Structure 1
Amino acid sequence: MDEIEVRELVPSEYKEWDLIVEKVQPGTLFHTSQWLEICRDVLAKDLRIYGCFRNGELVGGCPLFIKNIKGMLKVATSTCDMTSYSGPLIKESVSSKASKRVQETHEILNPLREFLCKQGFDSIHLTFSPGFEDIRPFTWNGWDSTVHYTHYLNLKDNVDNNTSRKIRRELKTATEAGLKTRALNDPETYYRLLSMVYEKQNLEPPLPREFFERVFKLIQEKDIGYMFVSETPEGEAVAAHLNLYGKKCIVTWTSALNPAFGRLGPNALLYYHEFLDLQSRNFEYMNVMAANIPKFADFIMGFSPELIPYYSVTMESKKYSIAKTLYKTTHKESY
């Protein structure tokens, strides 16, 4: 097999990267250059997309955000705020033999791992998207691994048969209150609801308004998603889901709720009507990214989802490990 060359992509090659993202099953919107550039521009990130080439053909790669901590530590991660996964991708094998597919996967991931280890990073953290299962080229070479979870709601099922008694009560309450749902692509409405969630906790929203404005613009330009809202009979939006189109699925990326209306069941109503709408459009499942937070996971279990694992791997230098230990010790003592 021909050797794999790994190097940083130049911006003119990003379209080629996006083609790989589009073709391979684990590829997500979070891998696309458009999404990564929003993160880079709004959050002032140092973005690099490393590509794996075989005989000049791009066959894989990995986007990374690079950060220098006080000029002492160089840290690389494939994720950032509200971008849960955007790790390595490889061109999928056409072989029908499992052994051949594994071989081809490792022939790309091993050179990628070796290349990243030579870039002088004190810490590298890669989070693979759901569906990317073979992370052994990293774990077999000393990288630590962690399992995370998301929920898939099967859109082929009958939603009424799978809802819990609690969810049915919330749906009844929402209906009696006259709540309705509809699509509404309005960043101001979304950010207002999101701000309410964090104001109740005396916190600022996790990302600036500009980030969501850029995402909404991308949604409209590329038709890659939509916002669904619950409204009062007077037309006031009280809850919203921002959904992104994936392969055969919808990704429920983020949600927001006016806390004053939480007991009226607007969130349950949103999921229920989204479920029916997506079924009519022949999507296979909803990827509800809420399985790693106990409160949200408990709520979504009322719709009988399937629990889906995905993985991350981490490599840290001794210098980084010592610095992390000192940081934790210092903050624990000050607390």
Structure 2
Amino acid sequence: MYELHEIDPQQALKWDELVYSFPNHTVFHTRKWLSLLEKNQSLTVTKIALYHQGHLVGLLPLSLKKILLMTIAASPFVVEDTPYMGILTERVHFSGFLKALTPFLKENKIHYFRMISNCFYEAGPDDNAFQWIPKYTHILDLTKSNRGLWDQLQSRCRTAIRKAEKSGVEIQEMGGRHEIEDYYAMIAQTYGNQRKPCPNPKGLYYDLWDAYDRNQVVFLHAKFKDETIAGMILLIDGKQAYYINGASKNEYKPLSASNLLLWRAITTAKEKDAEIFDFVGSDIPRLAKFKESFGGTLSRHTCLEKASSRRIYLLRNQYPKYKQVVGRLMRGLA
């Protein structure tokens, strides 16, 4: 029998040790990362464990929040900057997790649940109570030489990188946390152009700078004539590197700074001993085409959703429109 409930307090003391004992662990499951999310996203992260016959066989960090009279449980809650979370468990226990999940959501009066895993799971014949949404990303093998990585780039990507270099675009690591101001302004502009509010507050990026050293979180920016025209955040966890955030100024798009910036991120990750580079998110065709040009392999992973009723599904589908309204209001107040 499988059960989901809040982790035993004694086991919770070894949370990170338990996280890294699972093969599909990520830095996004760790205590430090979860604390940053709680602080900056105004939510509570509950540490849930999956038990099988009394033995701990899985971990699920679950963020809880009330929106529009609904109790929402998500892992992660905000996808931007935290692309993966969900259940950590061996594949043999995944079907048991699903069996335990439905009564857990009902007992805790959760109206809507979503999790995004870095693994790909296929629905079984008895799993139609959940909505299975395939997600995609590009993965690049960094064990090749720099020359091998360069040769693997599509020709249009190499041309764009050379163009940026010849135009005088320079890539640098940010020299201090004060430079986050310019970077966040670009993020705000990017979402503002889509009539959306920034998913995360500026404080999250300051906290990332403070909480991790420069071998773990690398802030890169592209400069043109002393002006910051693009930037990105590279997160490195052991042998795994993630491109978790990026922004640029539209008026400088013809310079192809984003190509040069991402190429530098790839070589930087390799210099810091990463072996896998995750481009994080290839669901939007325009972005998928850009990321594909760097030679990565398309990889699938799973988003799992469950609503307590059809009415809740309808409300969930209206949420993107709600965010656009909030974005327009925020721009009006700016």
- Give the TM-score taking structure 2 as reference length: 0.80
Q: Secondary structure of 1:229's match?
A: strand
Partners of 1:139 and 1:29 lie apart in 2 by 32
Alignment check: 8 A CA contact 1:42 1:211 kept: yes
Alignment check: 8 A CA contact 2:242 2:279 kept: yes
In structure 2, the partner of 1:254 is: 245
Moved more, 203-212 or 250-259: 203-212
Inter-CA distance 322–109: structure 2 relative to 1 (3 Å threshold): closer
In structure 2, the partner of 1:148 is: 135
1:230 and 2:222 are equivalent in the alignment: yes
Moved more, 243-252 or 178-187: 178-187
In structure 2, the partner of 1:61 is: 59
Partners of 1:303 and 1:315 lie apart in 2 by 35
Percent sequence identity is: 21
Inter-CA distance 264–319: structure 2 relative to 1 (3 Å threshold): closer
1:162 and 2:152 are equivalent in the alignment: yes
Partners of 2:10 and 2:226 lie apart in 1 by 45
Please, which runs of 5 or more residues in structure 2 have no aligned partner?
A: 323-334
Q: Which amino acid in the other structure matches residue 73 of structure 2? A: A
1:127 and 2:116 are equivalent in the alignment: yes
Q: Secondary structure of 1:115's match?
A: helix
1:172 and 2:162 are equivalent in the alignment: yes
In structure 1, the partner of 2:25 is: 27
Q: What is the CA deviation profile of residues 14-70 of structure 1, one whole-angstrom value per residue up to 9, with x for unaligned ones?
A: 442222222323211222222222222222113212112468764312122223344
Inter-CA distance 139–291: structure 2 relative to 1 (3 Å threshold): farther
Q: What is the CA deviation profile of residues 117-147 of structure 1, one whole-angstrom value per residue up to 9, with x for unaligned ones?
A: 4322222222212xx3345579636222110
Q: What is the CA deviation profile of residues 62-115 of structure 1, one whole-angstrom value per residue up to 9, with x for unaligned ones?
A: 1222233444x332221222123210112x5xxxxxxxx62x554555445543
Q: Which amino acid in the other structure matches residue 148 of structure 1? A: K
Partners of 1:325 and 1:171 lie apart in 2 by 41
| 1:1-335 alignment, distance < 5 Å | 4-9=2-7, 14-53=12-51, 58-71=56-69, 73-81=70-78, 82=80, 83-90=82-89, 92=90, 102=92, 104-107=93-96, 110-112=99-101, 114-129=103-118, 132-134=119-121, 136=123, 140=127, 142-157=129-144, 158-184=148-174, 186=177, 187-201=180-194, 203-220=196-213, 224-232=216-224, 234-318=225-309, 320-321=311-312, 324=315
Partners of 1:322 and 1:257 lie apart in 2 by 34
Please, which runs of 5 or more residues in structure 1 have no aligned partner?
A: 93-100
Q: What is the CA deviation profile of residues 216-256 of structure 1, one whole-angstrom value per residue up to 9, with x for unaligned ones?
A: 22223x95321122223x44332211011135221000001
Partners of 1:325 and 1:267 lie apart in 2 by 33
Moved more, 295-304 or 32-41: 32-41
Partners of 1:317 and 1:204 lie apart in 2 by 28
Inter-CA distance 53–109: structure 2 relative to 1 (3 Å threshold): same
Alignment check: 8 A CA contact 1:149 1:310 kept: yes
Partners of 1:141 and 1:23 lie apart in 2 by 30
Deviation at 1:282, TM superposition (A): 3.5
Alpha-carbon RMSD: 3.1
Inter-CA distance 193–319: structure 2 relative to 1 (3 Å threshold): closer
Matched pairs, number? 313
Alignment check: 8 A CA contact 2:120 2:301 kept: yes
